[in-house]
Amino acid sequence: MDKRGEPVERNQRPELESLDSRLSRAIQTAPQRDKSEQEDNEQAKLVRDFMQGKISLSEFSSSLAKRSDEPGPGELVLKDLDELFHLVQSIWDTELAEEHFEHERQHLELIDEAGWSSQLLFRFFVDEKGIMSGRPSVVPNIPEEGNENKIREKLKQVLQAPEDPSDTDKIVTD
């Protein structure tokens, strides 16, 4: 129920849904690791093609538009870095939580400097042995219009921001 006593549909007000509830849904819908990696590689190729000028901003934006604002299978949308920290700390440990926090913070800092919005995600997946795992990511909302070269440069800076780049960061920028 909202403040007026009206029922709130699921996902209509995600800020009211508890982390446990969102976490449970993400875990229940986690895809197989190979499917998750295939999707990540397709996304990385799209970003790399844009970064290398193989596709235009318009083509890049139309490809990104296919991604729903709703969390995909195994995806948990996080409210902020603190929620990411608490999630990773509860799954693994404090040291790994600090590493992920710092890595994603460095991406977010440059996204904010660029004036872009973003979405902080944790993607769960299941390996061939049935073991659950996952990884965080920041998805910047790239402008659909503007100077393509400036957008590419800002995106490159965002991707290269962390001192210790992730495998996905390396795929896109190499």
pLDDT digits 0-9 by tens, 133-153: 999 999 999 999 999 999 999
> Above 50 in pLDDT, residue 10?
no
pLDDT band at 5; cut points 50, 70, 90? very low
Please tell me the predicted confidence (pLDDT) of residue 3. 36
Is residue 162 within 8 A of residue 106, CB to CB? The reply is yes
More confident residue, 167 or 105: 105
Q: Record the pTM.
A: 0.81
Q: How far apart are CA 161 and CA 114, in angstroms?
A: 13
The strand pairing partners of 123, in sequence order, are: 75, 135
Q: What is the mean pLDDT of the chain?
A: 86
* Cβ partners under 8 Å of residue 59, min gap 6: 50
> Above 60 in pLDDT, residue 7?
no
Give the tokens for residue 15: 């800020």
More confident residue, 71 or 26: 26
More confident residue, 166 or 112: 112
pLDDT band at 65; cut points 50, 70, 90? low
